[in-house]
Amino acid sequence: DADVTQTPRNRITKTGKRIMLECSQTKGHDRMYWYRQDPGLGLRLIYYSFDVKDINKGEISDGYSVSRQAQAKFSLSLESAIPNQTALYFCATSDRTSGRRRETQYFGPGTRLLVL
């Protein structure tokens, strides 16, 4: 079984709709992240969480919100979807105990979102 899972894997929605993307992990990591990827722009950080009570905005948080329901679950919501939120969304986890030089991130399989 995959260590980091995302649901749904693909989603088509209409402008103005509220949608939620979910992420679960079995790695036991304390840190979780949401990114979006657009062609040519690389991955950009939307929100991150270092534990259940810690939520932080990333580079491009406008139009998004998150919820850390448990250590293993981190959800991303688009309150009112718009077409320029069409992108590939990735959840990732990392383990702070691995030390700064070793701390890397493990990604889920991604959610492909199309906003019409």
Partner 1 sequence: RKEVEQDPGPFNVPEGATVAFNCTYSNSASQSFFWYRQDCRKEPKLLMSVYSSGNEDGRFTAQLNRASQYISLLIRDSKLSDSATYLCVVSNGGAGNMLTFGGGTRLMVKP
DSSP 84: G
| Minimal distance, residue 60 CB to partner 1, in Å | 13
Query: Closer CB to partner 1, residue 17 or residue 30?
Result: 30
| Minimal distance, residue 110 CB to partner 1, in Å | 5
Q: Are 90 and 104 a contacting pair, CB within 8 Å?
A: no
| Minimal distance, residue 16 CB to partner 1, in Å | 27
Query: Closer CB to partner 1, residue 17 or residue 28?
Result: 28
23 CB-side CA count, 13 A: 30
Q: Are 81 and 13 a contacting pair, CB within 8 Å?
A: yes
